[in-house]
Amino acid sequence: MATTAPALTPAASGYRSGLYEWLTTTDHKKIGILYVANSFIFFFLGGLLALGVRTELAQPGLQYLADENLYNELFTMHGTVMIFLFIIPMLVGFGNYVVPLQIGAPDMAFPRINALSFWMLPLAGILLFLGFVTGGAAAAGWTSYSPLAQDRPLGSVGPGQDLWIVGLLLIGTSSILGSINFLVTIFKMRAPGMTLFRMPILVWTVLVTSVLVLMATPVLTSALVMLFIDRNYGGSFFDPANGGNAVLWQNVFWFYSHPAVYIMVLPAMGMISEILPVFSRKPLFGYKAFVFATAGIGALGFSVWAHHMFTTGSVYLPFFSLMTFLIAVPTGVKMFNWIFTLFRGKLTFSTPLLFALGFLSMFLIGGINGAFSAAVPVDFALHDTYWVVAHLHYVLFGGSVFGVFAGVYYWFPKMTGRMLGEGLGKVQFVLMFIGFNLTFFPMHALGLSGMPRRIADYASDAGWNELNLAATVGGFLIAASILPFLWNVFVSLRSGKPAGDDPWEGNTLEWATSSPPPPYNFDHLPEIRSERPVFDLRHGRAGSGH
């Protein structure tokens, strides 16, 4: 074992205590925890915004929002916050905490840049929310299509939209810096013996994600600057009223924002690829195929952006249709790899595995209902209806959010030295699983019968009443599932069961050090001969079946 220091007295292991330490830290583990905590705050805020939307839609008629513009602000900010301030930074946070540990490194390559990347995020969040007190937050949708996002009557007048642009610029800069940091860390700081094909899958997914971020985010950043110029300095990039091109914005926006879907789901896939082997006591089935599938998704991810634009009449439809269908193949490969990791395993149903199985079963639906929109004529019917809302939530909630909670239950003991309660964890899982399906499954039917997205009200005779009510009840069930989680974290931090170094019989190097790990992580490392060094240490080479 790497260390014999008592796990629950971080001060004894050389940490300075207090707020000052957290504000100035350059330790990747503390920064990782800051990312996770910050992301959860925005998750709860984004969730409240979603409850506002669902409450208004529970019944036909305008009941709660006298100001209809507020409704547009709610769903705009919900999407923006959940994507840019929750899912993406949350996964960066796990990457920050886990990647250096898993490759046997003492820290990230550039610790101060790492701290800078993080501190841009709360600032960006504050700027985004400032819109609510300066005459209205951004209200043109998280996609901010021009010309609606332009400074024009009935468009986006006021500072909310500018704050949105500046907030996203900060988040984009944070992402670019973070991706460079990850790439240098992964390429230059691996421990001796940690070859590329012995890296844990989470590290591979963070690697591919970082390449996506590095190549795609600058495109969004330039587009945001151009939109800012349009709005404030008389530019005409995206405004047809001044000779600009409205569809150009959609091209540059989705050139980033489609790869962003993979940025939001690949690391979550990496997390459950760590968890499924541990809880089935088997190696990941088809490690190399999984790596190539991840790289394949990353590469194909740059050739499908216009499938968000099939109804514009301005893109070459067959090409983007073909590429969108093709991306299902590497995704399918992964699904079978996961299932055959479980196959003939010995499964222990701890909370991390439950959430990982939630990911598997729900992301499957998100993949399948996405294939409908790849068939362009079917997309003519489904685009911009509630079907799409169902699809994206089965991917980003059914996939990413279930993956995030799997990761939280799995690595919380490493981060804090305390176990989370299993009972409360399972209560949370069941509530969330049912609430999630009750919210989003009915939206398939709503979309098929023609309910468009982004409307505050609908006709009472359109046949949408029951399904909307079901979705709203489900939404509150999801909110209820957060309460046992918060209580669980609170109780565990105060008096949770001590975790020990390796509570799950893990495979990867983070389980070869104390919980929480000391500064610079390791006193010494076990020998690395496979992607499961700690498994090898526990069972010897015979056990690994090499």
Partner 1 sequence: MSSSPRTRFAPGSIWAWVLLASIAIGLILTVVTGSVGALFPPEAATAQGREIRDLYTIVFVIAAVIFFVVEGLIVWTVIRYRRKPGDDELPPQTHGNNLAEIAWTVVPTLIVAFLFVISWQTLNNVEAVSAEPEVTVRVTGSQFAWTFDYLDAGGNSVAKQTVANGEGGILALPVGRSVQFRVHSVDVIHAFYVPAFLFKRDVNPDPDGRESVFELTIEESFAGEVLRGQCAELCGLGHRKMTFEVHAMTQADFEAWLVEAQQTPSPAPSGPVGTTLQLVAKDITYDTLELEVAAGEPFAIEFDNQDVAGITHDVDIRLADGTVVANTTEIDGGTSTTYVYGALDAGEYTFICSIHPVPSMTGVLTVN
Chain positions 347 to 386 lying near partner 1, rule: CB under 8 A, are 347-349, 354, 357, 360-361, 364-365, 368-369, 371-372, 374-378, 380-381, 383-385
CB nearer partner 1, residue 97 or residue 402: 402
β partners of residue 418 = 498
Q: Is the dihedral of CA 380, 386, 388, 391 positive or negative?
A: negative
Nearer to partner 1, 55 or 311 (CB): 311
CB of 204 to partner 1, least distance (A): 16
Is 456 a binder of partner 1 (CB under 8 A)? yes
User: Segment 501-540, which members bind partner 1 (CB under 8 A)?
Assistant: 539
- Lookup: tokens for 468: 């909307």
Pick the closer one to partner 1 by CB: 177 or 420. 420
Indicate the residue among 458 and 522 with the shorter CB distance to partner 1: 458
Tokens in use for 521?
């992580």
Q: Quote the least distance from Cβ 1 to partner 1, whole Å.
A: 20
Nearer to partner 1, 28 or 532 (CB): 532
How many residues interact with partner 1 (rule CB under 8 A)? 109
- 497 is a contact residue toward partner 1 (CB under 8 A): no
- Interaction residues for partner 1, span 272-301 (CB under 8 A): 280-283, 285-289
Task: Report the residue number, 35 or 290, with the smaller CB distance to partner 1.
Answer: 290
Residues 6+ apart with CB under 8 A from 176: 213, 214, 217, 218, 221
Instruction: Locate 290 and state its tokens.
Output: 């999984």
Using CB atoms within 10 Å of the CB of residue 51, give its burial: 0 to 12 exposed, 13 to 18 middle, 19+ buried.
middle
Candidates 102-110, 118-126, 196-204, 464-472; binding stretch for partner 1 (CB under 8 A):
464-472
Reading the block at residue 361, the tokens are 């079963």
Q: How far is the CB of 181 from partner 1 (least distance, A)?
A: 32
* Among positions 345, 498, 500, 503, the unique one binding partner 1 when judged by CB under 8 A: 345
370 vs 233: CA distance, rounded Å: 40
Could you say which residues in the range 68-97 bind partner 1, by CB under 8 A? 68-69, 72
Residue closer to partner 1 (CB basis): 181 or 439:
439
The nearest distance, CB 155 to partner 1, in angstroms, is 7
Q: Which of 41, 322, 483, 493 binds partner 1 (CB under 8 A)?
A: 322
Cα separation of 438 and 346, whole Å?
31
Which of 213, 420, 470, 477 touches partner 1 by CB under 8 A? 470
* Alpha carbon distance 182, 412 (integer Å): 22
Shortest distance, CB of residue 487 to partner 1, whole angstroms? 19
**Residue 447: other Cβ atoms inside 10 A:** 24
- Stretch 141-180 residues interacting with partner 1 (CB under 8 A): 141, 145, 147-148, 152-155
CA–CA distance, 96 with 103 (Å, rounded to integer)? 12
Whole-angstrom CA distances from 74 to 59, 141, 295 are 17, 9, 36
Interface of this chain with partner 1, residues 234 to 253, rule: CB under 8 A: 240-247
The residues in 407-426 that bind partner 1, with binding defined as CB under 8 A, are 426
Residues in region 36-75 near partner 1 by CB under 8 A: 68-69, 72
CA quadruple 283, 284, 287, 291: dihedral sign: negative
- CA–CA separation, 120 and 114 (whole Å): 10
Q: In 189-300, which ranges are continuous DSSP H helix?
A: 201-232, 246-280, 287-300
Q: Which of residues 433-452 bind partner 1 (CB under 8 A)?
A: 433-434, 437-438, 441-442, 444-446, 448-450, 452
Stretch that binds partner 1, among 39-47, 181-189, 202-210, 319-327 (CB under 8 A): 319-327
Tell me the C-alpha to C-alpha distance, in Å, between residue 372 and each of 98, 237, 500: 36, 33, 47
- From CA 202, how far away is CA 338, in angstroms rounded? 14
Nearer to partner 1, 456 or 489 (CB): 456
CB of 261 to partner 1, least distance (A): 18
Question: In the complex, what is the shortest distance from the CB of residue 279 to partner 1, in angstroms, rounded to a whole number?
Answer: 9
Report whether the peptide linkage leading into residue 516 is cis, meaning its omega lies within 30 degrees of zero.
yes
- Our measurement of the distance from residue 137's CA atom to the centroid of its chain's CA atoms, rounded to an integer in Å, reads 23
What's 179's DSSP letter?
H
DSSP state of 425: H
To partner 1, the closest distance from the beta carbon of 536 in angstroms equals 11
Q: Which is nearer to partner 1, 192 or 377 (CB)?
A: 377
Angle between helices 317-326 and 328-342 (to 10 degrees): 10
* Residue 189 C-beta: closest distance to partner 1, Å: 27
State the minimum distance, in angstroms, from the CB of residue 482 to partner 1: 17
Q: Report the candidate in 411, 393, 387 with the shortest Cα–Cα distance to residue 510.
A: 411
CB of 454 to partner 1, least distance (A): 4
User: Which residues are registered as beta bridge partners of 498?
Assistant: 418
Q: Which of 326, 480, 482, 525 binds partner 1 (CB under 8 A)?
A: 326
Considering only residues 462, 483, 486, 493, which one is a binding residue for partner 1 as defined by CB under 8 A?
462
Cβ proximity to partner 1: between 84 and 433 the closer is 433
Give the pair of three-digit tokens for residue 421. 């309660």
Out of 454, 491, 498, 529, the only residue in the binding site for partner 1 (CB under 8 A) is: 454
Closest by CA to 419, choosing from 519, 496, 340, 534, is 496
Binding residue for partner 1, selected from 41, 196, 329, 486, defined by CB under 8 A = 329
Residue ranges of the alpha helices (H) in 58-158? 68-80, 88-102, 111-130
**Residue 131, SS3?**
helix
Looking only at residues 176 through 235 of this chain, which bind partner 1 when binding is defined by CB under 8 A?
none
